[in-house]
Structure 1
Amino acid sequence: MDEFPEYAIRVRSPEGLCDPTVRQYSGYLDISETKHLFFWFFESRDRPESDPVVLWLNGGPGCSSSTGLLFELGPCNVRDQGKSTEPNPHGWNKQANVLFLDQPVNVGYSYAEGSSDSVSDSITAAKDVHAFLQLFYARFPAYLKSGFHVAAESYGGQYAPNIATRIIKENNDLQSGSQLTPTDKVVIPLSTVIIGNGLTDPLVQFASVPDYACAPSPYAIFDESTCASIRSKVPTCERLQKFCYSNPSRFTCVPATLYCWSSIYGPIQNANKNPYDVRQGCDRQVNPLCYDEMNWIENYLNRDDIRTELGVPSDLKFESCNLDVNRAFQMSGDNMHNSASLIPDILSNGVRLLIYAGEDDFMCNYLGNERWMMALKTEFSDEFQHKAHKYLSRYSLEGGNSTVVKDAPGHVGMVRSAGPGAGNFTFVSLYESGHMVRILL
């Protein structure tokens, strides 16, 4: 492509991995000579020629989307300390073509060849993701015929709105003919932004922590003394966050980052609770991420045979999360940015929004997620604010088709939505689910 003169495409068709029943591709789309983004793509088990493409991104920042692939919503789940996988009958590729991308560079299997190529903010990351998508559709143009959805988790609450904003801008420029030179870029058919347990509006979400984690909340995990301490620090955190919001820069946002994370989230480190699922205990000195499967994923993806089959350099070590990338984002102040401010323009361009949250997640709790949606001024504000919650019933998909059958009494969550049909602005809370909700398509 003329816009990416240094690009290269290195793609394989893995055989016998994860879901051998579908066509899959993996490898690298090199957006420059020194920036190499790894992807693993699985076609739909149902109708790949017409089912939409879903881009899945894990958060961190700095964590590989292989977590979603091998532990959450992918076609298979890692097992036996990483020695094997087993099929996931509820993987999202049951009804969608799913694209798992390791981004930004230096996350997972993605890599950069120079320190100047490192990424430390969501705007730059979004630019790279858009470049990747242009190369992806140039290599696989058949998938342009169906819709495209950006789905992201956790820090994806920052990633996804920025990616959608970049896509919309580029699409509008193409459709208006405002490009100064001829281009072979394509309009990306963005339909929906999906965020699971995301960090999107830190000002609202950090203030929700004591309401979630302290009595009389049913999810209370702190004693009265700890709760009093957290509540006393919320005003200072809010003051710093407001300064960051009004004058976003490294110098205004890093102080909010350092103070708010340590003051509001620091106590969870000593609570012996899994912050991603408060129903579970966790000694974070022993297992910082609280899930054995994270280590199993590293074991699996550091196997020589797996690297070879996926087209990964033999000397590249896989890490589930890159803490250097995480620190770089923190020290740029990126994680205090208000990505919710991007949502109104995304909606006005006809893109739908779905926010879902497992109610047992402490890190990006459901209260904060619904509150920022309630506070946000959009074309759907009045309807959303006055809509009553509806219960979400328990469903399963029967056989290989999309017939929906209620299979058990009771409810699995609550939904509030505004807009026609299934809704343009929708919030779903899910019972008995943590940070890494396994949504069944």
Structure 2
Amino acid sequence: MKVVACTWMLLSMCLLGHHLIIYGEANEDQVLDNFLKSRLLKKPSPAVHYSSWFDVNTDHSSDYIQPQEGSMETDKISALPGQPSGVDFDHYSGYVTVDSKAGRALFYYFAESPENSSTNPLVLWLNGGPGCSSLIGAMMELGPFRVNSDDKTLFRNNYAWNNVANVIFLESPAGVGFSYSNTTLDYQRTGNKSTAKDAYTFLLNWLERFPQYKSRDFYITGESYSGHYVPQLAHTVLLNNKNSNQTIFNLKGVAVGNGWIDDRTGRLGKFDCLWTHALNSDETNKGIHTYCHYFNGNDSEQCENFIHKSYTERGEIDGYNIYAPLCRLNSSASTKGSFDSVNSFDPCSKHYMFTYLNRADVQTALHAKVSTWDLCNDLISIAWTDRPVTILPIIKNLMTNGLRIWLYSGDVDSVVPITSTRYALNKLMLPIKTVWRSWSTNDEVGGYVEEYDGLTLVTVRDAGHLVPSYQPARALTIISSFLAGALPPP
């Protein structure tokens, strides 16, 4: 029997009285914006101080590791409906139980490399939100396939990241995508700490299921609110690596795209981005700088008025990519990418993916137990229990432990723009090792890079919030360089 995840959603809709995003319409930018607004409306702010992260008890007893014999073979996908011919890699999907008492299980999709899978590194990918599915990454960004506009067939992504790594896409936390819990209260007490703990438990059990990867070089990557997820999970892994009774992860580094890492600089950078791209007036930007000091819910009414004016002035554009066309499914004027083309991103792709993943034959092929899939679960973010206001101290801690840290950013994203990332990095005051320079892909400038002592910043030219969606070739250059420990080619 399939687990139906929408019962709690319908109940919570009545209890919370909150405006919900229509199925198939949710975006990481909408969810992140709603999440930040909901945090600011609550007084005192539920944001927790980062220092509590350095005292988290992350010890896991042997009860957290479940028997995995035969599960890898069971999870193997024979074929996805509508997949193209000539698929030359193994892929898997299924569930890993992270709390047997609560019945909490996380869904994953795993794509091995077509070549050198036995030696290529292992990469974990996490989408943000909080509350958005990592199948967005698998089916719209860096995964091996994308969905055609017929909602029925797939085409190959020639720039998929599994060309250079074995990639796990994890739907986290429970309640997101196909992941679920049999204890519905779990959906109302999710936060940063529980998400990191469950993701770590997932990894422990997943490596028991795929033991050939236990000693492999391991990297954690993601985008958007994964600016929280990725560093916090990496910190959890490092803490547990000190426990000799646990599996030791060969964690080498982390990479985050357009990541939300600091509340104040994130908000300020967002509005400065709109102004510098001529989407806001001088008056509005001056008003925000004058009246919005902390973005913590205690700003004046004038601040809120200017923020509202900023969004009004921006108009109906795609916040993910301020120069991209909007999806018009029912309009002949809709701008779509070429059929079977990964080089021209179709703004309606999320609708094709939504329809495809809600087909019964696709869910059967994926071994899914949840009958309704959506891009994001806004209710997860509404009920979020904890988050630090800044991740910068955790990033500094990861630097101290010698991890490779890359922050990359599409330069036409207004959701978490490069402006916000640069403002945040300025707070770290890091010495520069390699001065700002351009890098290239296919004899074109792909973006710009600056290497600091312990951290690398990379921009991606003409890329939005979902960098691999808009610039797949440039994104592959970035991840290839990151894994190789070299800066992108000049």
Q: By how many angstroms is 1:282 displaced? A: 4.2
Cα shift at 1:123? 1.6
Partner in structure 1 of residue 52 of structure 2: none
CA deviation map 1:8-67 (0-9, x unaligned): 655421122258311111100011221010001011122111100110011111110010
Is contact 1:77-1:85 (8 Å) kept? yes
TM-score, reference length from structure 2: 0.73
1:299 alignment counterpart: 355
2:435 matched residue in structure 1: 388
Q: Is the contact between residue 272 and residue 281 of structure 1 (CA under 8 Å) also seen in structure 2? A: no
| Deviation at residue 230 of structure 1 after TM alignment | 2.9
Counterpart residue identity of residue 371, structure 1: Y
Instruction: Quote the Cα distance in structure 1 between the aligned partners of 2:159 and 2:149.
Output: 20
- Match in the other structure for 2:118: 49
The answer to whether the Cα contact below 8 Å between 2:327 and 2:347 also exists between their aligned partners in 1 is: no
- The 3 A distance-change label for structure 1 pair 333 and 140 is closer
Question: Counterpart of 1:369?
Answer: 421
Asked which structure has the greater RCO (Cα within 8 Å, sep 6+), the reply is 2
What SS is found at the alignment partner of 2:396? helix
Per-residue deviation, 1:262: 9.0
* Structure 1 partner of 2:169: 100
Paired letter, 2:466: M
Q: Which amino acid aligns with 2:410?
A: G
CA contact 2:287–2:303 (8 Å) conserved in 1:
no
Task: Please name the residue that 2:271 is paired with.
Answer: 210
1:3 aligned onto 2:50: no
- Displacement of 1:266 in angstroms is 7.6
Work out which of the residue numbers 284, 290, 293 in structure 2 matches 1:226. Answer: 284
CA contact (8 A) 1:62 1:321 kept: yes
d(CA) in 1 for partners of 2:243, 2:401: 13
Which one of 364, 377, 389 corresponds to residue 322 of structure 1? 377
SS at match of 2:228: helix
Match of residue 342, structure 1, among 394, 401, 412: 394
Q: Secondary structure at the match of 2:259?
A: coil
- Per the TM alignment, residue 383 of structure 1 is displaced from its structure 2 partner at its CA by 3.0
Question: Structure 1: which 5+ residue stretches go unaligned?
Answer: 175-182, 241-253, 395-406
Partner of 1:14: 77
Aligned in 2, Cα 1:164/1:59: closer, same or farther, shift over 3 Å? same
Check if 1:169 corresponds to 2:239. Answer: yes
Cα 1:4–1:265 shift into 2, 3 Å = farther
Compared CA separation, residues 5 and 389, structure 1 to 2 (3 A): closer
Q: Which residue of the other structure, out of 29, 32, 36, is the alignment partner of 2:99?
A: 32
Change (3 A) 1:6 1:73: closer
C-alpha root-mean-square deviation of aligned residues, in Å?
Answer: 2.8
Q: Which runs of no fewer than 5 residues in structure 2 stay unpaired?
A: 1-59, 331-345, 469-474, 481-490
- Shift of residue 263, structure 1, vs aligned partner: 6.4
Q: Which residue of 1 aligns with 2:151?
A: 82
* Percentage of matched positions with identical amino acids: 27
Q: How does 1:118-197 map to 2 (within 5 A)?
A: 118=187, 119-174=189-244, 183=245, 185-197=246-258
1:425 aligns to 2:443 (yes or no): no
**2:289 is aligned with what amino acid?**
R
1:135 & 1:85 partners in 2: Cα distance?
A: 30
Tell me whether 337-346 or 366-375 shows the greater mean CA deviation. 366-375
Q: Answer yes or no: is 1:60 the counterpart of 2:129.
A: yes
Q: CA deviation at 1:232?
A: 3.2
User: For the structure 1 residues 139 and 76, does the alpha-carbon distance in structure 2 shift closer, same or farther, using more than 3 Å as the test?
Assistant: same
Question: Which letter does structure 2 place at the counterpart of 1:268?
Answer: Y
Distance in 1, Cα, partners of 2:228 & 2:206: 23
Q: State whether residues 69 and 76 of structure 1, in contact with CA within 8 Å, keep that contact through their aligned partners in structure 2.
A: yes
Alpha-carbon contact 2:98-2:202 (below 8 Å) kept = yes
Separation in structure 2 between the aligned mates of residue 210 and residue 80 of structure 1, nearest angstrom: 34
Q: Deviations over 1:223-243 (max 9, x none)?
A: 334333433342142xx3xxx
The superposition leaves residues 77-136 of structure 1 with CA deviations (integer Å, 9 ceiling, x where unpaired) of 111242111000100000100000000000001001113323532121001100000001
Question: How far apart in 2 are the matches of 1:43 and 1:319?
Answer: 25
Would you say how many aligned residue pairs link Structure 1 and Structure 2?
A: 384
Shift of 1:222: 1.6
Distance 1:62 1:255, change over 3 A: farther
Aligned CA distance change for structure 1 residues 8 and 263 (closer, same or farther; 3 Å): farther
Distance 1:127 1:306, change over 3 A: same
Quick check: 1:391–1:413 contact (8 Å CA) kept in 2? Answer: yes
SS of residue paired to 2:280: coil
Whether the 8 Å CA contact 1:126–1:163 is kept in 2: the answer is yes
Aligned residue number for residue 278 of structure 1: 322
Aligned match of 1:72 in 141, 150, 172? 141
Residue 172 (structure 1) shift: 1.7
Q: Which residue of the partner structure matches residue 248 of structure 1?
A: none
Of the structure 1 ranges 104-113 and 142-151, higher mean CA displacement relative to structure 2 is found in 142-151
